[in-house]
């Protein structure tokens, strides 16, 4: 049987990193096997599904590079791929179960169900449907219909002792079927429940493997029983353990960002997020950590996904991002930085290409995330200089610093060559004349020119600013130094 997998998000919010990992594992499983990756939209919860959320899911999947072979806007022979467009199919399949007496109409109202549920709980029993409408005879049904009572359709469960499957991640999993009840398959508004729509779609879309989060494990016996009632072979299942936050509880907003798009906004590369998510549960050999998507497509195997929950460690993601940043070709790195800056309101296209490339080179290894281009490049990108008060007090509030910076400004203004080499010579020459350490002069100048202690190399900074701006900032710092001194002595 050929491999066909699906990722089946509900468009009720952004794409969560956990969902993205599920999508990735499905994608990789398909690619490795030369199979098909289907995207199916589970929007039967009409109240919570929104077009914005659907657009956000597509956008995040595309950004990650998880191209689907079949699905909305990709087409395919098993469509439609949006559940709200498949209602007639669910009704037809529900009709089959009804005719085979494996489903029956239920006229119980929500209030009646709730009252019985509370009684069961009060008696210390697990709440489950008591099968009342299963026992109705034709006359009783006709009476309910005549009274215009809305009917849901319930699955008529057969006690089969045990429902079990061999899970690709967890091994053999078994449930006693008597913990289940006659669950609803079609609501009274005609919409299918998740379990029913899922089974119908997985069958019609010829899904061979269902890879999903283990929060769905309790749905699996219901789905297998539905498959059996139809006479269909259930897919193979792989239930992937959940992702935990640093404190060992389920990853949530309390731990920080959980949407794919927020990592994009932080300047994480899709390559790094894919790599990081792949390793949240899977490993090749317990050693190797860096993989491209293309490599994962060759190497991933669902058998090597562990059954222990994985911890989402943001420092690790940032480290990985730095590694992937280094792997990018220079042109590519520059293009990503430019796109990131543009998306964050800093259009750099007015600067010559060579200048932009020099800025990225100057930031060098400090470029761990694309946002570092903003952080370490702001001195050159913005006209106004924001000075870090701590950097100022540590490096500028010292005797003689102002006049030294003023002298450096004069020397820089007079340096006709204005190259990295000449600027270095000028700066070191001045320090020697003054009898001070070149490093001291340079760190004060770095704060004067960039506003920060940690910044690219001083001479790169000067050439990026250009003579005029560099001289002006050195003089501005010298004046501020003098004013503050004055203010203190008065």
List the catalytic residues: 253
Q: Minimal distance in Å, beta carbon 170 to ligand GLU? A: 16
CA pair distance 147, 463, nearest whole angstrom: 85
Q: Minimal distance in Å, beta carbon 196 to ligand GLU? A: 12
372 binds ligand GLU (CB under 6 A): no
Of the two residues 42 and 374, which places its CB atom closer to ligand GLU in the complex?
Answer: 42
CA pair distance 453, 471, nearest whole angstrom: 19
Q: Which two tokens stand for residue 483?
A: 């004013």
Backbone angles phi, psi at 289, to 5 degrees: -120, -20
Among 31, 144, 216, 473, binds ligand GLU (CB under 6 A): 216
214 binds ligand GLU (CB under 6 A): no
Q: Minimal distance in Å, beta carbon 195 to ligand GLU? A: 9
Q: Does 326 carry a binding-site annotation?
A: no
Q: Which of residues 178-207 bind ligand GLU (CB under 6 A)?
A: 198
CA pair distance 423, 464, nearest whole angstrom: 12
Name, in order, each residue with C-beta under 8 angstroms of 252's C-beta and a sequence gap of 6 or more: 245, 258
Distance of CA 421 to the CA centre of its chain: 45
Q: Minimal distance in Å, beta carbon 127 to ligand GLU? A: 23
Contact of 423 with 429, CB cutoff 8 Å: no
Which stretch in 5-13, 259-267, 350-358, 404-412 sits in contact with ligand GLU by CB under 6 A? 5-13
How would you classify the pairing of strands 184-186 and 152-155? antiparallel
Q: Minimal distance in Å, beta carbon 36 to ligand GLU? A: 16
234 binds ligand GLU (CB under 6 A): no
Contact of 101 with 70, CB cutoff 8 Å: no
18 binds ligand GLU (CB under 6 A): no
Among 16, 21, 31, 212, binds ligand GLU (CB under 6 A): 212
Which stretch in 7-15, 63-71, 432-440, 469-477 sits in contact with ligand GLU by CB under 6 A? 7-15
Of the two residues 8 and 244, which places its CB atom closer to ligand GLU in the complex?
Answer: 8
Name, in order, each residue with C-beta under 8 angstroms of 383's C-beta and a sequence gap of 6 or more: none
Q: Which of residues 41-60 bind ligand GLU (CB under 6 A)?
A: 42
9 binds ligand GLU (CB under 6 A): yes
240 binds ligand GLU (CB under 6 A): no
Backbone angles phi, psi at 38, to 5 degrees: -105, 140
DSSP lists the bridge partners of residue 7 as: 39
Contact of 152 with 161, CB cutoff 8 Å: no
Which stretch in 3-11, 143-151, 277-285, 358-366 sits in contact with ligand GLU by CB under 6 A? 3-11
Q: Minimal distance in Å, beta carbon 350 to ligand GLU? A: 44
What string of DSSP letters covers 400-456?
THHHHHHHHHHHHHH-SS-SHHHHHHHHHHHHHHHTS-HHHHHHHHHHHHHSSSS-S
Backbone angles phi, psi at 472, to 5 degrees: -60, -45
10 binds ligand GLU (CB under 6 A): yes
Q: Which residues are part of a known binding site for ATP?
A: 253
- Residue ranges for the known binding site are 253
**Binding interface with ligand GLU (CB under 6 A):** 8-10, 42, 198, 212, 216
């Amino acid at each position: 049987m050929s491999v066909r997998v699906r990722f089946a998000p509900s468009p009720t919010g952004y794409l969560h990193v956990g969902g993205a990992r599920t999508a990735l594992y499905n994608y990789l499983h398909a690619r490795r096997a030369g199979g098909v990756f289907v995207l199916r939209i589970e929007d039967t919860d009409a109240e919570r599904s929104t077009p914005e959320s659907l657009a956000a899911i597509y956008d995040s999947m595309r950004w990650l590079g998880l191209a689907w072979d079949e699905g909305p806007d990709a087409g395919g022979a098993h469509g439609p791929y949006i559940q709200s467009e498949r209602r007639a199919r669910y009704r037809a399949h529900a009709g089959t179960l009804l005719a085979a007496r494996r489903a029956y109409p239920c006229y119980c109202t929500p209030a009646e169900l709730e009252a019985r549920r509370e009684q069961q709980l009060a008696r210390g029993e697990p709440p489950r449907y008591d099968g009342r409408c299963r026992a109705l005879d034709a006359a009783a049904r006709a009476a309910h219909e005549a009274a215009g009572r809305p009917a849901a359709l319930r699955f008529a469960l057969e006690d089969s002792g045990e429902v079990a499957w061999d899970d690709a991640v967890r091994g053999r999993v078994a449930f006693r079927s008597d913990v289940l009840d006659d669950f609803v398959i079609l609501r009274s508004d005609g919409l299918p429940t998740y379990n029913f729509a899922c089974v119908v779609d997985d069958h019609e879309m010829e899904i061979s493997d269902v890879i999903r989060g283990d929060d769905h494990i309790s749905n699996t016996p219901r789905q297998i029983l539905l498959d059996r009632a139809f006479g269909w072979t259930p897919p193979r299942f792989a239930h992937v353990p959940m992702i935990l936050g640093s404190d060992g509880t389920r990853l949530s907003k309390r731990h920080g960002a959980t949407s794919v798009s927020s990592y994009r906004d932080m300047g994480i590369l899709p390559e790094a997020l894919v790599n990081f998510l792949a390793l949240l549960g899977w490993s090749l050999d317990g050693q190797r950590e860096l993989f491209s998507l293309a490599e994962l497509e060759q190497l991933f195997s669902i058998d090597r996904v562990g059954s222990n929950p994985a911890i989402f460690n943001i420092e690790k993601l940032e480290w990985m991002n730095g590694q992937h940043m280094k792997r990018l070709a220079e042109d590519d790195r520059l293009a990503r930085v430019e796109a990131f800056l543009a998306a964050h309101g800093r259009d750099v296209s007015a600067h010559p290409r060579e200048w932009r490339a020099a800025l990225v080179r100057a930031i060098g290894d400090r470029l761990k995330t694309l946002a570092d281009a903003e952080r370490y490049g702001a001195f050159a990108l913005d006209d106004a200089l924001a000075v870090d008060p701590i950097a100022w007090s540590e490096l500028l509030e010292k005797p003689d610093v102002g006049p030294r910076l003023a002298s450096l400004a004069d020397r820089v203004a007079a340096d006709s060559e204005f190259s990295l080499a000449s600027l270095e010579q000028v700066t070191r020459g001045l320090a020697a004349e003054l009898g001070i350490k070149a490093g001291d002069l340079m760190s004060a100048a770095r704060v004067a020119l960039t506003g920060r202690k940690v910044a690219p190399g001083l001479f790169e900074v000067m050439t990026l600013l250009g003579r005029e701006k560099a001289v002006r900032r050195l003089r501005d710092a010298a004046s501020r130094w003098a004013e503050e001194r004055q203010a203190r002595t008065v």
